[in-house]
Structure 1
């Protein structure tokens, strides 16, 4: 596609959308975002690395902007457009509103679909067997019976599948399906395969739709899980994709989760023991020498690994561990005791052997099934447990790799720790990579046809550096950065910082909140009060209710239930006060009269209490840095901007923000936090 053709198509589509949308108003920032995405996609800046990081404030219209720019380019370049989000709400907006709108009015035509992971779909074979009372999905235990309610639900699910009224995905069934029941019918990676006669199962039908679609909407977790496995497992391979990562400030945290591993020693050992016993019991009557040989190889490998897990558990138990209040012991600087390191090296080698033997057995079962010498009814329990065993060995392999990876002065060591559960008497070894930028570079940045990342909160302290370091981008690698301000009337709203006589950390701060909040809630119709902790929120709520205030408190009802009641009160003209913690600081949309008074009780500083946070702070200190200024303050800046973003949700909204944390004007970092906020009219009490 030539530049002229592309620009003409974008302009024509823009006119079509303007004519189709009631009350359409041109947005200069939105047009600039469309143009900049287009320049990156066309390779104007760096043809070999088409990456854009665009911070676009609330109200710009990010989703319609990237759809306008990316759909035509992806179609002409014969690439799949994969739009990934962090929240279900945005996925629903894209699938139900934005993409249908663009498709109706703008060329070129395209098909779009929402992608879900394998575990969200049932397996028709497993559902049918359970409905017919013939199911035995595990070699480890006899099939458990169903309650009468479960029998009724299974019958309803199967009949709906037969009639074509249900697509087989868990999310589209009108009532919740219990986890235990769903695990008995969900699709599994190794058992539910087209070559084993499962080509008409819901997951594979959905996978076929992905192949036909030009635009795929997905969540960050599924996208990164697929990329971690090399891509092309559920979603198309990265080289065939243009990625739009919306709400992309979550990417580093989700990549860290994908790269993490956890190994509960006692639980894993017991599962492998049961698996070993099941193999022996169910192969005794088989007349299949090759299959029997593969089973023997698996059992030999298990006889090596099971004692190693037991020995590892025993040695850790006998070492008189000194754990914290949560039963956690972090290995400082990632350094393991020599004995533990040696045991994990041995476990890693044994686990590799077990993985190979499981793969051979899985191949043998599949071959016997194809030849007809092993009936499907008999093969499916094998495939189900082999799938579970392979997942466990993969997790063990990841854990051992992270735990035994050599520590170098130039590389950030992974966070390594163990957790002791006194109730179950289990010890879990845990590891998480702190630096995930190299993973994202390997999985996506270096392979994708193009990557467009958008968010309202990329910058911290007015700089992209914090985000860039977290995701592995460099200032000179060809990636482009764009920052567009929101069109909202920020100067029309006030940011008030009063002096309440104390600051967070002082003994009397909770009581000061109880005394001060009635003043800042009085005469206000729609208020949201954000707290730093549940404990503090509950303490203050109890104190205010004793004064006669009516409150809607997070955790006392579902999130949607609280918001619905809040809207009803606001629509009826009654004052309404919502209390919430950090999760209410992001993704909460209360436009117009549903929120005019936002109270933030404390600057959102994260206390490094988790092993991952402690390890990151430790690494910064070891290389001579200041964890508070390099980690805590930038993250607090980003979270404070998000919290303040709850107030204005449209161009006509106005209100006030009351920040009850005086440190923003008394501490040296405060000026930078204030300067990074939108240009509210500031009222700071001397």
Structure 2
């Protein structure tokens, strides 16, 4: 049962909120969500499996709900709250707006912080060493000779770091740091040692100290996955002491899949392995030959296995097997016999090479700490060996997954080879799981104190089943599910129009039809967003409508022609001046785009957002479902389209007073059997079916 003190604190928050916010209107759905979060965490629905999955429509106030429901429980029970998001925009909203507000209304004190991965921080030693252009050690780490401007930038950064005017956080530097520069100074787990004098002022280590003291931590899904893949509690608090709030939860399965994937080139790997082979003698000497000699021998021996093996694989690949996109996919994840054998050999050799270099690295670290070798030489060697360790770790992961036999139960791994975009004669070997639910359950849900998953779009076709499968939520009876409708008045403030068109989107002449009919639905509207299924179609239509737009003084903003924030700024300025502004965008404009009030009153969706399974992972997943007698279209494509369509129409009404119309130029919601389910999953717009 929920402790009375926690209930009292939540009640006090509500009372304080009405005093803090002018024109605050209590919402029943928000109150209900707060209560259900608190009761779930209090164990009122299940003593051990404390999980809530809530789809909460736009306007409910999800973030304030989970802050109010989770933080009082966590503070009372001495637990951490980790809020994970998919977007930077939501992180900024939480840090700059929602958490400061909650801090004012919550009767007890608590601290909060934004957590970032190690790769967002510079290594102070690397920064200092990179500024020393006389040292040939550093040159080998630049893929191409550094520009004068690069070196000047590094010197400015070092000066700012030493004078305490910069904290080493990439995001807090006033200008954009080019990737080629950042790669020279980015912190990494191998070369950064808090025990070494040069690393005692390490920006990442300082950030970690603040992190350990905070009660509430904001992270993104990628950092969360990085932590639990390491075992949990390495970067972020350990799961057994943490309440997880996963906002924008519909993104988590894809991020989890990406983290379990791996890729490495063939000939590119040979190049850096050759450089490592040349450097290992020098590294072993610093590590002390008596102790490191056998590790050097093992490393050399396994590099001597890997380089010819990788070249042999590249030479045996049949170019005729590649499709038009430059992909050679192995059906059902099964490798040809020759590649299966090569994969086993590469797996063993890369594993032994990684272990041997790791031992040499550790010996150098010990000798540097004990002042047995010069600090400068030791730290340079650790930077170099750390660079190669990261690459060997990745290579070992690729070949371990490639060599892994398919299991009798569950989906196989998707395995494929792609032509390298950087080198004509090189190939990239790639591996990805198809389903990551069991991994999420094992590493996260089964260990957490409690888990609250929220999003405006979690259901597909009005069911949670598709999301549960993706996210590894198998304890369905013990899990609390909520679907809370938006408080917006869809019936009176918005309508969904489905015109009577002679063609459906799969017809050859559909793009020509769009060019003909779009002006009719743009005429007389001052703020429009048109969503297309592809860049090609969007650009075709934009090109043909450009003369008409110029004639009618329509201000047409096309996604891709300028940065997104510039396009949206121009759109806002045009709308504020009463000018007709039209945005053309693709799928990425259907989510995370906030255009309240008169910034959007006319939303046109050219087609149901069906994703064509063109990526190797999607093709492999469809193949797996078919092999089990399923229908990939109904089991993957339709549920995904349902979610994306809900996200798309969600661009129209952002606040309670907003109004407008959605025009869907795809008759398949009327003519196909699955259409009714798609329509019924949308908000309750007033429907106009012509």
Please state whether the residue corresponding to 2:463 is helix, strand or coil: coil
1:402 and 1:433 in contact (8 A); partners too? no
2:287 and 2:360 in contact (8 A); partners too? no
| 1:339-350 to 2 correspondences below 5 Å | 339-350=338-349
**1:627 matched residue in structure 2:** 632
- Does structure 1 residue 375 correspond to structure 2 residue 374? yes
Distance in 2 (CA, whole Å) between partners of 1:171 and 1:195 is 26
**1:389 matched residue in structure 2:** 388
- Does structure 1 residue 655 correspond to structure 2 residue 663? no
**Distance change in 2, residues 1:525/1:389 (3 Å):** same
Distance in 1 (CA, whole Å) between partners of 2:340 and 2:145 is 44
Task: Give how far 1:394 is off.
Answer: 2.2
Gaps in structure 2 of 5+ consecutive residues? none
**2:433 matched residue in structure 1:** 433
- Does structure 1 residue 38 correspond to structure 2 residue 56? no
**2:451 matched residue in structure 1:** 451
1:600 and 1:660 in contact (8 A); partners too? yes
Please state whether the residue corresponding to 2:321 is helix, strand or coil: coil
Please state whether the residue corresponding to 1:613 is helix, strand or coil: helix
**Distance change in 2, residues 1:477/1:258 (3 Å):** farther
Distance in 1 (CA, whole Å) between partners of 2:503 and 2:451 is 47
| 1:488-637 to 2 correspondences below 5 Å | 488-492=488-492, 493-549=494-550, 550=554, 551-637=556-642
**1:151 matched residue in structure 2:** 151
**Deviates further, 612-621 or 136-145:** 136-145
**1:105 matched residue in structure 2:** 105
Distance in 2 (CA, whole Å) between partners of 1:395 and 1:477 is 39
**2:404 matched residue in structure 1:** 405
Please give the TM-score of this superposition, normalised by the length of structure 2.
0.96
Please state whether the residue corresponding to 2:33 is helix, strand or coil: helix
Task: Give how far 1:357 is off.
Answer: 0.7
Per-residue CA deviation, residues 370-425 of structure 1 (Å, 9 max, x unaligned), is 12122222122322232232222222232223223322442111111111238431
2:673 to 665, 668, 685: 668
**2:114 matched residue in structure 1:** 114
Gaps in structure 1 of 5+ consecutive residues? none
Distance in 2 (CA, whole Å) between partners of 1:37 and 1:682 is 34
Distance in 2 (CA, whole Å) between partners of 1:420 and 1:288 is 41
Distance in 2 (CA, whole Å) between partners of 1:633 and 1:419 is 28
2:354 and 2:396 in contact (8 A); partners too? no
Distance in 2 (CA, whole Å) between partners of 1:592 and 1:285 is 66
**2:361 matched residue in structure 1:** 362
| 1:301-340 to 2 correspondences below 5 Å | 301-316=302-317, 319-340=318-339
Calculate the aligned-residue CA RMSD, in Å. 1.8
Count of aligned pairs between the two proteins: 683
Distance in 1 (CA, whole Å) between partners of 2:147 and 2:634 is 57
**Deviates further, 127-136 or 272-281:** 127-136
Distance in 1 (CA, whole Å) between partners of 2:2 and 2:480 is 21
1:261 and 1:430 in contact (8 A); partners too? yes
Distance in 2 (CA, whole Å) between partners of 1:240 and 1:326 is 46
**Distance change in 2, residues 1:153/1:168 (3 Å):** same
Per-residue CA deviation, residues 648-685 of structure 1 (Å, 9 max, x unaligned), is 00011010000001111111111100000000000001
Per-residue CA deviation, residues 550-605 of structure 1 (Å, 9 max, x unaligned), is 41000111100000000000000001000000000000000000000000000000
**1:4 matched residue in structure 2:** 4
Per-residue CA deviation, residues 269-318 of structure 1 (Å, 9 max, x unaligned), is 111111111223566688653244433332233223222222222222xx
Distance in 1 (CA, whole Å) between partners of 2:203 and 2:292 is 30
Distance in 2 (CA, whole Å) between partners of 1:392 and 1:307 is 18
Task: Give how far 1:17 is off.
Answer: 1.4
2:139 and 2:145 in contact (8 A); partners too? no
Please state whether the residue corresponding to 2:195 is helix, strand or coil: helix
Task: Give how far 1:456 is off.
Answer: 0.3
**1:58 matched residue in structure 2:** 58
Please state whether the residue corresponding to 2:549 is helix, strand or coil: coil
| 1:466-481 to 2 correspondences below 5 Å | 466-474=466-474, 476=476, 478-481=478-481
**Distance change in 2, residues 1:347/1:2 (3 Å):** same
Per-residue CA deviation, residues 143-188 of structure 1 (Å, 9 max, x unaligned), is 9765332333223212221222211101011100111111111112
Distance in 1 (CA, whole Å) between partners of 2:134 and 2:19 is 59
**Deviates further, 41-50 or 243-252:** 41-50
Distance in 2 (CA, whole Å) between partners of 1:360 and 1:568 is 60
- Does structure 1 residue 81 correspond to structure 2 residue 81? yes
